[in-house]
Amino acid sequence: MMRNGFTEIHGHLSALFAAGDLIAQRPDLAFIELGPTHLRPALLYLRDQEGFRHLVLLTAVDWLEAGQFQLTYLLCNRAARLDLGLRVRIPRDPASMESIHDLWPTAATYQRELREMFGIDFPGSPRLHEDFILEGWQEIPPYRRDFDTLEYARKAFAQRPGRETRDPATHMQQQLYPPVPPRAEPPATGGKG
């Protein structure tokens, strides 16, 4: 069951900003997809007209096969106890989206993280190109799906004596069910009978 608030909000967003379908996850959580050019006006509308004054998070998903990133802006209306996520798809290369740090100052931190971990640019966002988490990182952003973690580990971390790679299934089988040593036969008694 979905709260009527989402249906009404979706109707307004559809009329004003050509919003996509409403996807309800729970009665208090829903998502709507928008085009990138409609994001800022929709965020302003939701903040100023619908009471979604808190930016909960800004995150990304790499749709490598589609050549896109999906950005999700999760907003909260505390008075109505509703969370609404706006999803926006942008081209993967070059990946760039308008900054919203002027709407919610905390967005600058999320945008710095997304630039460093996914390579998404947010022009004008403060301190965007300063190292955030990965000091001195020279590889492609590590949250991109085409980043090869195993290859990076092989290049960056040399093999050393004592380091071995184990098949996880076999290793866990041995850890959970160690082999039982065969029972020793009792010594034969040499008695006469």
111: CATH: 3.30.460.80
Q: Does residue 94 carry a pLDDT above 90?
A: yes
> Does residue 10 lie within any of the structural domains?
yes
The number of distinct structural domains making up the chain is 1
Specify if 137 maps to a domain.
yes
pLDDT confidence of residue 1: 34
Dist CA 59 CA 111 (whole Å): 9
Cβ 127 vs Cβ 136: under 8 Å: no
pTM: 0.80
Give the Cα separation of 147 and 114 in Å (integer). 15
Output the CA angle 32-34-36, nearest 5 degrees. 145
Distance CA 27, CA 107 (A): 26
Return the closest-CA partner of residue 141 out of 158, 116, 108: 116
Nearest residue to 16 (alpha-carbon basis) of 86, 82, 74, 66: 86
CB 43 within 8 A of CB 100: yes
Q: What is the mean pLDDT of residues 116-141?
A: 94
61 occurs within a structural domain: yes
Query: Is 177 domain-assigned?
Result: no
Let me know if residue 105 belongs to a domain: yes
Q: What percent of the chain is predicted at pLDDT more than 90?
A: 73
pLDDT tens digits for range 44-91: 999 999 999 999 999 999 999 999 999 999 999 999 999 999 999 999
Contact 139, 152 (CB under 8 A): yes
Do the domain assignments include residue 92? yes
Domain region containing 63: 4-160
* pLDDT, the chain, mean: 91
Residue 112 within a domain: yes
Question: 26 in a domain, yes or no?
Answer: yes
